[in-house]
Structure 1
């Protein structure tokens, strides 16, 4: 096998020429690699942002849907307050049909959790990360408020039944649940406006289309829509679901 020996340099000028060719070649290769990597992360960040926008759009829609029932919830709580006031005088809960329950949306956070554990968020600006984090902290607060609302309505459901004696302990528990449900409904009514304000304050905007089928909110309907009248036919026993 013939081996070609390196051609000796003839002077510094030729050496520098060869050196510059090598350096320029290396820098060109490194620059091209960095360009490819930058384009790759630009694409990844754009996809991450879009996933978050889909998810935020879904959460905004869920918040608006629940707040849209706030007037109906207030009317139902007024009815329950009247039933409880009469029962407090007579000592008995009257026969009552199913009272319904406001929808309880399940807020989405899968995209945000996935992005936090991925590498794309490292290419977000600190300001953008703080803004997104603030929005999801607000959504988490809304989720806790809805959990309290659910618990209050679970207690209020015990009004539905054929009629029974109202003991002081049950009376106190129902009045407490009534107050908690009223407070939760006031807070839930204000959620869309507060969420929109936070989105504007953080600079994330207000255009969050809900078009990702993977993040589409499930169509949820309670046993009886809270805007429907209380059912006329009481269940034969307490604790039976419609």
Structure 2
């Protein structure tokens, strides 16, 4: 095997020539690596924007739903408050059908975990980072308020039944629960309206997409079971509970999914 010994440099000129070749080679390799990485993150951002669009349509529709269902909620709460006024005099809760509760969505961006842990968010424009962080923060706040509202409705739901004796302390507790429902619902609505504005002005959705998601949320609210006329009071409270809890098992895939703003799609196409 022949071994080629490196030739010695003859003067500064040859040294600089060799040095320049090495430097240019290293810089070229680094530039190529940076270009490949840039293209990779550009692709990741492009794919992420599909998921972001999906999430923002959902949140916009959920916000529209909350806004549109509040008149039904106010009417239902007014009727329940009247029932408590009546019970305050008679010391009996009147016969009431199942109270129910309005739809309480998750208010979450499904893509947020992937955006942050996958470092895609850090490679987006500063404006987009700020807007998405604000949207996620608003959704996270509404998530907490939705849970508080749901817990308060669970107390209010104890009013339904064929009618029964009650006490001043129970009536006071039920009024407090109605107050918590009202406070949480109004807080959620206020934050949701701000969320709508951020989404509409973010540029992630086209005006047509904003309008379509909003209309879908309003349409879902109008046909929500909570807005239907109150049901007939049951002869026995247990009948309603058993009717709910003794339904036969459902096959996987038979449960209808509710995803407003995206036509009930469970994910993006990519």
Global fold match (TM > 0.5): yes
Matching residue of 2:115: 115
Aligned CA distance change for structure 1 residues 182 and 2 (closer, same or farther; 3 Å): closer
Deviation at 1:70, TM superposition (A): 0.8
Contact 1:67–1:191, Cα closer than 8 Å, also in 2: no
Structure 1 residues 16-49: Cα deviation after superposition (integer angstroms, max 9, x where no partner): 3333333322222222121111111222233334
Residues 204 and 16 of structure 1, relative CA distance in 2, 3 Å threshold: same
Q: CA offsets per residue over residues 187-232 of structure 1, 9 Å max, x none?
A: 33434322123446xx63362759xxxxxx9xx99xx811111112
Give the number of aligned pairs: 230
Counterpart in the other structure of 1:156? 156
For the aligned residues, what is the CA RMSD?
A: 2.8
Deviation digits for residues 37-71 of structure 1 (CA, Å, limit 9, x no counterpart):
11112222333344233223222222222322111
For the residue of structure 1 that corresponds to 2:178, the secondary structure is: helix
Q: Please report how far the alpha carbon of residue 182 of structure 1 lies from its aligned counterpart in structure 2 after TM superposition.
A: 2.3
Match runs of 1:116-135 below 5 Å: 116-135=116-135
Q: Which runs of 5+ in 1 are unaligned?
A: 211-216
Matched, 1:205 2:172: no
Moved more, 84-93 or 47-56: 47-56
Cα distance change, pair 178–22 in 1 and its aligned pair in 2 (3 A): closer
Q: Which moved more, 1:135-144 or 1:20-29?
A: 20-29
Aligned residue number for residue 137 of structure 1 = 137
Kept in 2: contact 1:162–1:234 (CA 8 A): yes
Which shifted more, 59-68 or 12-21? 12-21
Match of 1:66 in 2: 66
**Cα separation, 1, equivalents of 2:173 and 2:238:** 16
1:56 match: 56
Q: Distance in 1 between matches of 2:13 and 2:148?
A: 81
| Match of residue 29 from structure 1 | 29
Describe the SS at the equivalent of 2:20.
Answer: helix
**Aligned equivalents of 2:103, 2:85: Cα separation in 1:** 26
Structure 2 residue ranges without an equivalent (≥5): 211-216, 245-270
Relative to the length of structure 2, the TM-score reads 0.73
Query: TM-score, structure 1 length as denominator?
Result: 0.81
After superposition, the Cα gap between the structure-2 partners of 1:140 and 1:204, relative to the gap in structure 1 and judged at 3 Å, is: same
1:168 offset after TM fit, Å? Answer: 1.3
Instruction: Provide the C-alpha distance between the structure 1 equivalents of 2:239 and 2:181, rounded to a whole number of angstroms.
Output: 20
SS at 2:225 equivalent: coil
Structure 2 residue aligned with 1:46: 46
- Equivalent-residue separation in structure 2 for 1:174 and 1:95 (angstroms): 16
Secondary structure (helix, strand or coil) at the match of 1:104 reads coil
**What displacement does 1:77 show?**
0.8
